[in-house]
Amino acid sequence: MTEMGITNTEIPLPSPAMTNNVPENTLEHEEWKHRPPYHIQGEEEFGPVKWEGSCQCGKITYALKRERPLNSKFCHCRGCQVMHGAPFQWAAIFHKHDISFARGSSGLAFFSSAQNSQQYEMPTKVSCDFCHTLIMDEGRNVCLLFPQLLRFKGSRDEQRKQLEAFKPSCHIFYEQRMFDVPDGTPKWSAMNDSSQLLDDFGQPVKQ
Ligand SMILES: [Zn+2]
Ligand SMILES: [Zn+2]
């Protein structure tokens, strides 16, 4: 806002301010950068790495210290279809403290669909700010990572064996599916455990 004709004696310092006196609200605003999964940790602090993932261009890399996700699901909701440019999303759920980004929050871009904002506001979609690969969905309590980004090692067969740890337990928002996925895995019309259970072809299953 401009104050025409008024001499402002409290001209803010240029950004970034050349001072240690960072305004308190800025510190609070940036607090999230200093906690998992954005807090930069040394190998010793983080512990043994089980998996590593990276975006298409390689600017963003992260480590996981948990062998198996807490859960893994296929999501067929319209939002996931559009965001991923794919018929459905494959998400593996991890605690935030299981994840460590090599460069912290640097190089990450955020999108909050609820707020229609690129500011960091949970829940948020996190992507590489250069190649725009989607990295994860960060919720208030957990992160949903996309196993496609993990680097599995060995032959094709060996890689497929490692993938078993990420095998989805169910499909969610199956009502919005683009096509049937007859894999015999439980399917929910919306959220798991709180919607209608469907069969492979979208017919209600008696519960
Ligand atoms: Zn990238
Ligand atoms: Zn979804």
Domain ranges of the chain: 56-198
Give distance in angstroms: CA of 25 to centre of ligand 2: 33
Give distance in angstroms: CA of 50 to centre of ligand 1: 21
Give distance in angstroms: CA of 187 to centre of ligand 1: 33
Q: What was the pLDDT predicted at 10?
A: 56
Give distance in angstroms: CA of 191 to centre of ligand 2: 9
Give distance in angstroms: CA of 133 to centre of ligand 1: 6
Give distance in angstroms: CA of 134 to centre of ligand 1: 9
Q: Which residues pair with 109 in a beta bridge?
A: 127
Give distance in angstroms: CA of 165 to centre of ligand 2: 21
Least distant ligand from the CA of 135:
1
Least distant ligand from the CA of 82:
2
Fold of 56-198: glutathione-dependent formaldehyde- activating enzyme (gfa) (3.90.1590)
Q: What was the pLDDT predicted at 28?
A: 64
Give distance in angstroms: CA of 64 to centre of ligand 1: 18
User: What are the tens digits of pLDDT across the range 96-151?
Assistant: 999 999 999 999 999 999 999 999 999 999 999 999 999 999 999 999 999 999 99
Q: What was the pLDDT predicted at 3?
A: 43
Q: What was the pLDDT predicted at 6?
A: 44
Q: What was the pLDDT predicted at 178?
A: 98
Cα–Cα dist 59/103, whole Å: 9
Question: DSSP label at 2?
Answer: -
Phi-psi label, residue 123: left if phi above 0, alpha if psi -120 to 50, beta otherwise: beta
Tokens linked to 167:
């095998």
Task: Give pLDDT < 50 ranges for the chain.
Answer: 1-9, 13, 16-22, 24
- Measured CA distances, 33 to 27, 28, 199 (Å): 10, 10, 43
Residues, CB-to-ion distance under 5 Å, ligand 1 = 55, 57, 59, 128, 130-131
Least distant ligand from the CA of 109:
1
Q: What was the pLDDT predicted at 207?
A: 72
Give distance in angstroms: CA of 130 to centre of ligand 1: 5
